[in-house]
Structure 1
Amino acid sequence: MTVTAFVVAEEPERNGPGRRLKPLAETVTMEHREWLVLLRVAFLASGLTYKDLCGKAFTSPTQLSRLLNGTEGYPGLERTLDLRNALQQTIDTLAELDPSPVPNAVGITLHRPTENPRPASIQNLPAPEWFRKVWEAGAVAAKRPEHWINDHIAEVDRKEALAAARRAEAERGRRIGDIGKSAFCILIAALVSASLFLMFGLSTPEAKDQGGINNRMCQSSQCGDTDPGATADSGLAVTGPEYGQTTHHYLTFAKPGKSELPQATLWVPFLDMQIFYADGSFTGQYAQAYRPLYVTCRKGSRLVIANSGGMTIPLRTGAPERPGDTVDECTPKRG
């Protein structure tokens, strides 16, 4: 295995608070020293104490001291990477505080003391993949068993895979949340559009004159509200096809007068229904689906429309607007 060396000529002195690092133990091999010296340099330049760093590196001050001084033997890969990542976070923070550091000849970056008295920072540490390689070489040099090395590598891989899965799950949750928000907004927009169409598109159809009948336009359920005295003389109105409807022409009829209203039933067609003259011939016009109209009585399979001069619609598809209402058979007029 080929490992690129990262040589550091010397370690800077600590000028701030906290315990100083001890000289490396004589038992530390060159392979161990290769990555350990980098962490010691980063620790000294960071200005952190053992107490400051132990929480970030998931360890205790005593264990951190032993790791950095090489007195605990050869440490595990997970602890090594935790310390590396904690120090790299400190380097990133210092870089944000002072974006123009001054590098020296041994890879250490010191701030000018006269310009910025903060603790020194260093260049970025090598990537975690580099530390994994040199850690493995150090473990071999320290005569660690192969199964011990493989177990530590496998544990790190397992935790990294678990962390990656959690990040992916969080990202999927965020995307699903965004989709849900978009769908909700689309639904609200559709409901608002439908409400506006029902409010303005169906409530104010344009009056027309057709078939030589001079009449006014109204909804069959509202005519009496604007003209309480409306009678059969009010006639009927013809409307053309509306937005979103078929090419049918629709008829609407005035609401019965107060004297006739108790004998009339408000009827709701479920489909566009043909309207027939009193003699049974088709008028060419329709009663619009779901637009209520008043009927007075029933002639066999047809209903007589109020204020229509005897016009009828089929009985087969529709129902009273109020459950329980019935339409009686028409009574023949006595001559």
Structure 2
Amino acid sequence: MARRYLVTGAAGFIGAATALRLLERGDEVVGLDNLSDYYDVSLKEARLARLAPFPAFRFVRADVADRAAMRALFAAERFDCVIHLAAQAGVRYSLENPDAYVDTNLVGFGNILEGCRHGGVGHLVFASSSSVYGANTRQPFSVHDNVDHPLSLYAATKKANELMAHTYAHLYGLPCTGLRFFTVYGPWGRPDMALFRFTKGILEGRPIPVYNRGRMVRDFTYIDDIVEGVVRVADRIPAPDPTWDGDRPDPATSFAPYRVYNIGNGRPVELMRYIRVLEACLGRKAEMELLPMQPGDVPATQADTTELEADTGFAPSTPVEVGVQRFVDWYCDFYGVRR
């Protein structure tokens, strides 16, 4: 049976891809986005253009931080599930414009929670981030680990989202599932992310910035794998864990209808290898500007997806060679680059 979804951040990288998947399988989607100018709005409009032909899609331009607009939306509409992907993203930008993170990631998330509470929403799925692991050094990162030491305001807002959602799950019985995404990449990606910036720089013959002098390891996760995880989790409403022990609390589960999952490839890749794969796909060598580690960044990430696989039967698996090639093909086609 078709379900009715609200997808926030519907013009964003993950939001547009998730909305498309839901529409293709026959669900109804209301897509919400404020079309902020954090990066090229024309790219966001192009993503929305892929959704527009579906009769079951409707776009609402609004800001999740606008309390009145959110109240009006949830009062007028009924949703089976809300997939909340709208956020001010980026670790480095949080050092320049912290207000944007407070407004969108905290105030906006509070508005979404209130809308779900009063609107009778059956399940809230929301984007968290691998950034919440912060100062943790034990690899791979597990959802059972303590995440009380974030290293950036962005990470702190995502940790706060998890805490806020748990409170609503406990107080109001709102089923909530948080998803910690690990370095998402692929076609239609964000221009501020590494693969996009590297590709643009290499094609334009400019040096690409390589932080920590390339001594970085990332759990690069292809967009289709992320979307598959989101949709499978959305279809699985969490129930209270009867084994949860308050004397030995587990951050991943709860006595409330609440869960947290990692969505990552589980196969970390050295940044220099990632660049070599991109060079091979482009047929060009990169000129690199080796830079120190950026404040708020971490040297390595790796996801433990044991719980995701156990509960949904799915674990991301797309290798970077495949994912990067697909991105390069899309980039050259979208921007009219001759290779």
Same fold (TM over 0.5): no
Q: Which has the higher contact order (CA 8 A, sep 6+)?
A: 2
Range into which the TM-score falls when normalised by the shorter chain = under 0.3
Give the TM-score, by structure 2 length.
0.21
Structure of larger gyration radius: 1
Give the TM-score, by structure 1 length.
0.21
